A = this chain, B = another copy of it.
């Protein structure tokens, strides 16, 4: 019984995402008929129907839903293998650290300085990225280790918490709410977050598709009252702005800064970085409780 091939998975994911053979074929840079045949062969190979097609619409079967999910993770794993092997073969090895700009609690310089003194240290290459970028980079092998705030999708990653701190809400200084010293979630009803979701936790649909905003853009939108924003205390402290007030919110889940890396990593350079990160935060008296042990054989 021969194996599934990467090509088949790529084809299937394209069709399952587009739900349209023509567009999927275009996206894959090929003609539609061979794509149809490939999907048919895949279904025959699995002995399972993946797509229900009429001439007017294409839908996923339950088995197709399952395969779409698993195929994505399998494709991630394959391209991660490819990227990591490429990187491991480079003559100048580097430690690729993915992080969100400014989400380092101000400890990045100290961490890098301490890391340089490590035995197993490699030159560090910083990869600044937006929301979700870090995790994606770790998963597909573009980064070796990441610094990022919870919550995030930690599937396939090992995680070590570094610092837990309360989150504040950023408001226009002129906002009536800014007169209060502490807010309650209900006070923020009707306000939107940068990703378009409701700020009071109600499950209203996003007002617009989440765009990628940088810090300056967010602060500007906060200043003009378009949005409010939750951010860790340390980040607020580093961005004092006259037009913006930072206020605590009752019951707002705190944010934890963590260092994360791919579970299968055995790189000494990564291990050294994690060790250094922990000790830097511990030395600064900011350390979190030890992370729960998860069994390894």
Please list the residues of chain A having a beta carbon within 8 angstroms of any beta carbon in chain B: 3-7, 9-10, 46-50, 61-67, 69-71, 73-74, 76-82, 84-86, 88-90, 132, 135, 141, 150-156, 159, 256, 258, 263-264, 266, 291-292, 294-297
Contact = CB atoms under 8 A, between A and B. Distances in A.
A264 B77 contact: no
Most central of A3, A65, A81, A86 by chain B CB within 10 Å: A81
Given A6-B5, A7-B5, A89-B61, A295 B151 contact: yes
A88 B66 contact: yes
Contact of A80 (B47, B70, B155): B70
Contacts of A10: 3
A150 B297 CA distance: 8
> Nearest 6 CB-CB pairs, A to B?
A48-B89, A151-B295, A70-B81, A63-B89, A150-B295, A74-B77
A89 B47 contact: yes
A297 B153 contact: yes
Nearest to A69: B264
Contact of A71 (B47, B69, B81): B81
Contacts of A151: 295-297
B85 A50 contact: yes
Q: How many copies altogether? A: 2
Given A63-B89, A156-B263, 10 more contacts: A3-B6, A3-B10, A4-B82, A47-B89, A48-B85, A66-B85, A70-B141, A74-B74, A151-B295, A159-B294
A202 to B, nearest CB: 19
A159 B294 CA distance: 9
A160 to B, nearest CB: 12
A38 to B, nearest CB: 14
B154 A295 contact: yes
Contact of A70 (B74, B159, B264): B264
A46 B89 contact: yes
A70 B79 CA distance: 10
Given A3-B10, A294-B159, A77 B85 contact: no
A70 B77 contact: yes
A70 B294 CA distance: 21
A246 B154 CA distance: 41
A231 to B, nearest CB: 17
22 contacts: A4-B6, A4-B82, A9-B81, A46-B82, A48-B85, A63-B85, A63-B89, A65-B88, A66-B85, A67-B81, A69-B264, A70-B77, A70-B85, A70-B264, A74-B74, A74-B78, A74-B80, A77-B77, A151-B296, A151-B297, A152-B297, A159-B295
Contacts of A292: 291-292
